[in-house]
Structure 1
Amino acid sequence: MRLDRRGLLGLGVSTAALAATGGVTEAAAATPRAVLPGFREGHAAGLHYVTGGTGAPLVLIPGWPQTWWEFHKIMPALARRYRVIAVDLPGIGGSRPAAGDKKSIARAVHGLVQALGLGPVHVAGHDIGAMVAFSFAANHPAATRTVTIMDVAHPDEHLYEVPLLAPPGQPHPWWFAFNQLRGLPEQLLAGRSRYLVDHLCELLLVDQSAIGNRDRALYAAAYATLDTIRVGNSWYQSLHQDIEDQKAYGTITVPMLGIASLASPYLEYQLKGRGTDVRIVDVPTSGHFLPEEQPDVVVEAITALIG
């Protein structure tokens, strides 16, 4: 489907999506292993990561409800020029749980950077990962070369203006409120995450084939347990703290790239006042899942930023 140009994500809304056919039980039983030829897995500072390539280090941070695998289409091309490190967020995919606020997650990513001896890095994030990437640049400027924000800005007080009831025909980010609840989400979703990702995919993908059945099975399985559902909830339950943290952040002085799908028409407005060197790439042919719907565009934009 085509998203309304006003978009769900213009006020900092975040999500990811998966579509699928077939039942939940069959999907869980057939979940494949995420393996990307030419890349290797590792664990450091409590985080699971997948890495490959040589050159300047580029850290990729995924969103909800996805894993490092959301970058599998862009990683091979980027690894021809850079050392790519795609991480799993704390509590997902073998990464050790941490507090859900974006400053704490950015601290965990910084610990990984230090443990791997990477020095200053380029950091790029999508969705929740974009919030973390911004927080990384704000809290660890000496460790940041550039920062790329895909589709979702760091939370600020605009989130409090999201209406309870959306106008007819306009999608509504209901999951922001849903994930605030304690106890109910995991009761509804444990072992049934494919229903959630089916809905999100239909809502936020332009090209429904961009995230295939194998990808969907991987993502659904990653958020199928009580614990992983609670972890995802925590990223939204911490938004109030993120908003307070944002008030204390200074201006980002490293080059900052915003890549905006048609779901995020306000990203340029949100980023322009937060950095001294802000560049925007609009991708009106893509829904929210930029690395999977328009991987070539994302690779070109990141490469143009980093050099």
Structure 2
Amino acid sequence: MHYVIGGQGDDLMVLLPGWPRTWWQFRKLMPKLAERFRVVAVDIRGMGDSDKPGCGYDKKNMARDIYELVRSLGYSKAHICGEDIGGMVAYSYAVNHPEATDKLALWETIHPNEGFYGIPMLPQPAQDGLQWWLAFNMVKDLPEAVLTGRFRTVQDWIIEHYSGSPESYTEEDRAIYAAAYNTSDAIRAGNAWYQEWHQDMVDDKEYPETPITVPTLFLAGKSAPLIFPMIEKKAADIRTVELAGAGHFLSDERPDDLLAVLEDFFV
């Protein structure tokens, strides 16, 4: 498993990225967080420079990967943070390993549940924000055939349509993210995070009604009105924060605002 680590603090903070990103999405957060914490940004299973095995992409198993990483670094507990797919893994970590979780921070995500089956495939006229990739990434083999060597097109489209501030991405950022998903193996592995949602939903049904027992922070941008009611019932002790006008990728787009909220919550 590939990760980037630094910092001087006694407490460990784990940062888990989402699709279609890598540990690089935390580059603007890590220097400041490292003043207070030992910080590790992880390429989760199948991502970036981490291994891309043929199985094991359900979020419970991916959370186990992170649990074993925390132990291997010499810690019994950690603060866990995640965005998008990484947030699903972070959620599963806190539910399945509460004894190894200090605090939990999630943004722009919720664990897969049967409500996902209600996500519309067809947009209403003039509807903005159709998440077409949720279905496309479920298809086996076709995405690899279509996108291998061409993933920059997807990266640019996602940035232009789901970022609140496309100008926050440099050419280097776009190139790094595109390269991480440009091979057939990388596309297959990243899509496996979605293809295991059915198993994630089975696991979700087995969790308690209020599955998260640790202090939890949840942030969202434009999706806040939709997603806050879903997450608030999932944690016994939760604080929600809306970053008004923000798009989906808060750590890329609004790092200063995100840092201020994280530091207030974790310190």
TM-score by length of 1: 0.83
User: Given the alignment, which residue of 182, 197, 221 partners 2:155?
Assistant: 197
Q: Distance in 2 between matches of 1:223 and 1:126?
A: 18
User: Given the alignment, which residue of 187, 194, 216 partners 1:229?
Assistant: 187
Residues 95, 213 of structure 2: 8 Å contact kept: no
Q: Which amino acid aligns with 1:51?
A: I
Identity %: 44
Matched residue SS, 1:265: helix
Aligned length: 261
Residues 152, 264 of structure 1: 8 Å contact kept: no
Shift of 1:91: 2.2
Shift of 1:161: 0.5
Shift of 1:266: 2.2
The corresponding residue for 1:25 is none
Q: Find out whether 1:247 has 2:205 as its counterpart.
A: yes
User: Given the alignment, which residue of 45, 53, 78 partners 1:121?
Assistant: 78
Question: Which region of structure 1 is more displaced relative to structure 2, 61-70 or 88-97?
Answer: 88-97
Matched residue SS, 1:209: helix
User: Given the alignment, which residue of 257, 261, 268 partners 2:228?
Assistant: 268
Residues 186, 230 of structure 1: 8 Å contact kept: yes
Indicate the structure with greater helix content: 2
Q: Distance in 1 between matches of 2:224 and 2:249?
A: 11
Q: Find out whether 1:147 has 2:104 as its counterpart.
A: yes
Deviations 1:160-202 (CA, angstroms, capped at 9, x unpaired): 1111211122221110110111110000000000011111111
Matched residue SS, 2:158: helix
Residues 258, 267 of structure 1: 8 Å contact kept: no
Residues 147, 254 of structure 1: 8 Å contact kept: yes
Q: Which amino acid aligns with 1:172?
A: L
Deviations 1:243-277 (CA, angstroms, capped at 9, x unpaired): 11111123211101101111343222111111110
Shift of 1:107: 0.6
Q: Which amino acid aligns with 2:4?
A: V
Shift of 1:130: 0.5
Residues 52, 185 of structure 2: 8 Å contact kept: no
User: Given the alignment, which residue of 53, 56, 74 partners 2:29?
Assistant: 74
The corresponding residue for 2:168 is 210
Residues 48, 186 of structure 2: 8 Å contact kept: no
Q: Which amino acid aligns with 1:304?
A: D
Unaligned runs of 5+ in 1: 1-46
Q: Which amino acid aligns with 1:198?
A: D
TM-score by length of 2: 0.95
Residues 103, 135 of structure 1: 8 Å contact kept: yes
Unaligned runs of 5+ in 2: none
The corresponding residue for 1:293 is 253
Structure 1 runs of 4+ off > 6 angstroms? none
Q: Distance in 2 between matches of 1:179 and 1:101?
A: 15
Shift of 1:67: 0.4
Shift of 1:231: 0.4
The corresponding residue for 2:19 is 64
